[in-house]
Structure 1
């Protein structure tokens, strides 16, 4: 598995030319769902599910485990695979690359601990319960499909 950072120029080329394969975690906890307030683009300022790209030669289940550890600081158990989603963002992290396209495997997980630790991509983590506030349409689709 390649887990080295991709040089910025190479990453810019990827973002400009191909969809990014990723996993998004719908984290059930105490009758609600864990969301993080995004610090980076796309989605800066939005409450969003934890997620991240799948690394070269990394199995989906390994990506789920890694993303949970990196973005939440906890291990998780998979409860349900919701399927594949497409996310089309009207901006990327690069000013000269106007859009970003993701192919996302949405997965419902349950944390093995509630000792959440936000990473540098999230200003904070919070547990939201229904009725949910206005959330990004991609998050609303996950919650609907997960029956939350």
Structure 2
């Protein structure tokens, strides 16, 4: 696995020209499902599942565990792979990009601890309990929750 960051100019070219392979996590915490309020594009200001791009030479399982540790400070157990999704966004954090295209692999995971650390991609983290009444769920989050078997109505 490559743990060296991609140089900014190269990252901007990648975002501008190719889809990004990522893992997105439906994190089942003892108090509910953990969502983060995003501070950056895409989906800025939305309650969203944690996730991140897969690094070169990193298995999907390794990516799930790294993302959970890096974004939440949590160890997780994988319950199931939910499937492969496509996410299209009109905006990106890269100036010249015509939106952003992700090909995320969704996972339903459970936490192996209670303590959660917030990262710079979120201004808050909260747990929400099904059926998520009163929460305006992003369509991509809604799809993940349904596929993980949660009641959202």
TM range (shorter): over 0.9
Counterparts of 1:5 and 1:31, CA distance in 2: 34
Shift of 1:42: 0.8
Counterparts of 1:113 and 1:70, CA distance in 2: 15
Query: In the alignment, what sits opposite 2:137?
Result: 135
Counterparts of 1:121 and 1:31, CA distance in 2: 22
Shift of 1:61: 0.5
Counterparts of 1:32 and 1:90, CA distance in 2: 30
Shift of 1:135: 1.1
**Does the CA-based 8 Å contact 2:35-2:47 persist in structure 1?**
yes
Residue 143 of structure 1 aligns to a residue whose secondary structure is helix
Query: In the alignment, what sits opposite 2:27?
Result: 27
Pick the aligned partner of 1:146 from 141, 148, 152: 148
The unaligned stretches of length 5 or more in structure 2 are none
Aligned residues, how many? 148
Query: In the alignment, what sits opposite 2:65?
Result: 65
Counterparts of 1:29 and 1:121, CA distance in 2: 19
Counterparts of 2:71 and 2:22, CA distance in 1: 14
Shift of 1:11: 0.5
TM-score by length of 1: 0.97
Shift of 1:31: 5.6
Counterparts of 1:25 and 1:130, CA distance in 2: 16
**Does the CA-based 8 Å contact 2:16-2:96 persist in structure 1?**
no
Residue 61 of structure 2 aligns to a residue whose secondary structure is helix
Q: Is the deviation greater in 51-60 or in 130-139?
A: 130-139
Residue 141 of structure 1 aligns to a residue whose secondary structure is helix
Query: In the alignment, what sits opposite 2:123?
Result: 123
TM-score by length of 2: 0.94
Shift of 1:137: 0.3
